Structure 1
Amino acid sequence: MSPARGMALKLFALFLFMAMSSLIKASSAEVSSFQAVFFRSFFALPIIVIWLAARKELSTGLRTRNPAAHFWRGIIGTSAMGCGFAALGLLPLPEVTAIGFASPLITVLLAAVLLGERVRAFRLTAVGIGLVGVLVILWPRLSISPKDMEMAATLGVVLVLTGAALRSVAQIHIRRMVQSEQTSAVVFYFSLTATVLSLFTIPFGWVMPSTPVLWMLISAGLIGGVGQIFLTSSYRFAEASVLAPFDYASMLFALIFGYVLFGEVPTGAMMIGVAIVMSAGALIIWRERQLGLERGKARRSLTPQG
């Protein structure tokens, strides 16, 4: 194990995912979210295959004992990704990232309901605190005003929360899958399934993108594939409990990309809410480490988009 190397790989993966999200956001005015899902998934596939071939795992890494599980993981993850990409066109990048931090909180609750995991008062309290933080972030957006911009922002909030909930379901599903499936198989078949599923949305608003947007979308797919490899590799060098807190580095990258590329300045309420959510998440991570809960295999198979 080499924790420092694992941390560096995790941070670089998160940086790449944020760069990818920025490209998706920049193209959102021209292409639909599920058209973006296609490019994100299709162009990640060759990167994953090359990686497996380089590791001499192409024949073993893609074996599966449960194709149905991959199909349902694809349905859930593709829906989550579509919601997240749609939200990027409606809300600032830092806000989408901040609200997305609700996903680990929801996962704790779903683990109790679906997996029968015992969740005691400490983690329930932390989840409650985190949800208060999410509400602080959301409060300025919870408007029923007929103004188009405010309605769009409210829709964006709904999409981010839906995507966060779906990512939580995916996390629970993957925790069951990795008991019998290779991580590489989970990663590959998700990209493959998302590519195929996104094609069914062609009649619903696909367009021929302009040349600059086309290159943005292709780059997003390639960068996303590389990011997934770095994320998966990071868990080979450090324990999941060591790497989990670094997820919150996404917020720093979102603030930088949002300000530099889109001129997005976070509000005071959003930063207060982020601080509350991150504190609650840190408490949950610390408690899970104390309890010895192993979630590393599921984490390495799940991207920030689903």
Structure 2
Amino acid sequence: MNAPARAIAIPFAICCLGVALFSVMDAAMKGLSLSVGLYNALFWRAVTGSVLGFLLMLLTRQRWPTRAVLRIHLLRGVVVAVMAALFFWALMRLPLAEAIALSFIAPLIALYLAALLLKEKVGRQAIGASLLGLVGVAVILSGRVRGDYDGNALLGALAVLASAMLFAWNLIIQRQQAQVASPIEVAFFQHLIMLGVFALGAPMLAILPPVKAVPLILLAATLAFTSLAALAWAYARTEAQRLIPVEYSAFVWAAIIGWLVFGETLTVTTVAGALLIVTGCLIAARSKRAESADYKGTHVEPGTA
């Protein structure tokens, strides 16, 4: 394997590992939320992750970030806190694979957020891809609307879609954050800021978890911290467009773990909808690469003409 190929292969492999660990963490958080409630699952995971991150910051002698970097950490931490609350609330009401499939709409939403926030152009092919993704969402939701499932599950599906909108914003921030902070710093500050958000409700909602829940809290926090660090490391070393398709492997992990741990079965509408959403995302990513290539081929820097 030549050097350029190896330079891409290693971040790709680390990204695959990060996604797999996140999928296991999702299952751990679902079990923990059903055991101690959503708030306490999120709060105690944030506490544990913050302590773990602080110790690693000291052991590895990480530098304190600048004010500009702290603002990025703060923004992403708040966004992820709300996103996580919505997503794990939905996981308590939906099969893992279905929730993950619906969340795949996020990269398509990110196209329009990038246009709004970064003034990027959205081409016709990307618009068509987003419409295909919306059809995929409609296919998955069709099972809910037909009455095959209760209304609580339909609310869960809508919560995933709301979470996906925040995840799309998170995708835009993630690459910027990975360029200015180490993986340990990224993971530590995300847990710390999430803890600050969830601590607002601690006087009314926090309870000491039962002893039997402690191993699950430790597992969820360790998996969350490790996967965050792995993804930050990978995104800092190669283009996001090469790594985003890896996110779709989470559907396979979710289907396997949901079946093994929670006895969940895949429905035809979930698989069909997931395929449509993933296809739309891949088309959008491909059109984005084509636009970038065209731009590089035609753009002339000032002073070089």
TM over 0.5: yes
SS at match of 1:137: helix
**Letter of the 2:267 counterpart:** T
Corresponding residue number in structure 2 for 1:296: none
Query: Unaligned stretches of 5+ in structure 2?
Result: 1-5, 294-305
Instruction: Tell me if the contact between 1:25 and 1:88 (Cα under 8 Å) persists in the aligned partners.
Output: yes
Corresponding residue number in structure 2 for 1:98: 101
Q: 1:205 to 1:46 in 2, by over 3 A?
A: closer
The C-alpha deviation readout for 1:109-164, integer Å capped at 9, x for no partner, is 11112221110111011011111101111122237x7x9x7121022112111111
**Structure-2 separation of matches of 1:239 and 1:175:** 9
Which structure features the higher share of helix residues?
2
Q: 1:187 to 1:272 in 2, by over 3 A?
A: same
**Structure-1 separation of matches of 2:191 and 2:292:** 31
Larger Rg: 2
Q: 1:40 to 1:290 in 2, by over 3 A?
A: farther
**Structure-2 separation of matches of 1:206 and 1:12:** 32
User: How many residues were matched structurally?
Assistant: 287
**Structure-2 separation of matches of 1:81 and 1:95:** 16
Instruction: Tell me if the contact between 1:44 and 1:191 (Cα under 8 Å) persists in the aligned partners.
Output: yes
Instruction: Tell me if the contact between 2:130 and 2:280 (Cα under 8 Å) persists in the aligned partners.
Output: yes
**Letter of the 1:231 counterpart:** L
Corresponding residue number in structure 2 for 1:42: 47
> How far did residue 242 of structure 1 move?
2.3
Q: CA RMSD in A?
A: 2.6
Instruction: Tell me if the contact between 1:51 and 1:229 (Cα under 8 Å) persists in the aligned partners.
Output: no
Q: Provide the TM-score with structure 2 as the length reference.
A: 0.84
Instruction: Tell me if the contact between 1:6 and 1:237 (Cα under 8 Å) persists in the aligned partners.
Output: yes
Corresponding residue number in structure 1 for 2:242: 242
Identity of aligned residues (%): 26
Q: 1:211 to 1:73 in 2, by over 3 A?
A: same
> How far did residue 108 of structure 1 move?
0.8
The C-alpha deviation readout for 1:195-246, integer Å capped at 9, x for no partner, is 1111112245433332222221221001111111221222355443322211
Q: 1:15 to 1:45 in 2, by over 3 A?
A: same
Corresponding residue number in structure 2 for 1:302: none
Instruction: Tell me if the contact between 2:182 and 2:233 (Cα under 8 Å) persists in the aligned partners.
Output: no
Corresponding position: 1:197 with 2:197: yes
> How far did residue 176 of structure 1 move?
6.4
> How far did residue 67 of structure 1 move?
4.0
Corresponding residue number in structure 2 for 1:10: 15
> How far did residue 66 of structure 1 move?
5.4
> How far did residue 69 of structure 1 move?
4.5
Q: 1:186 to 1:174 in 2, by over 3 A?
A: same
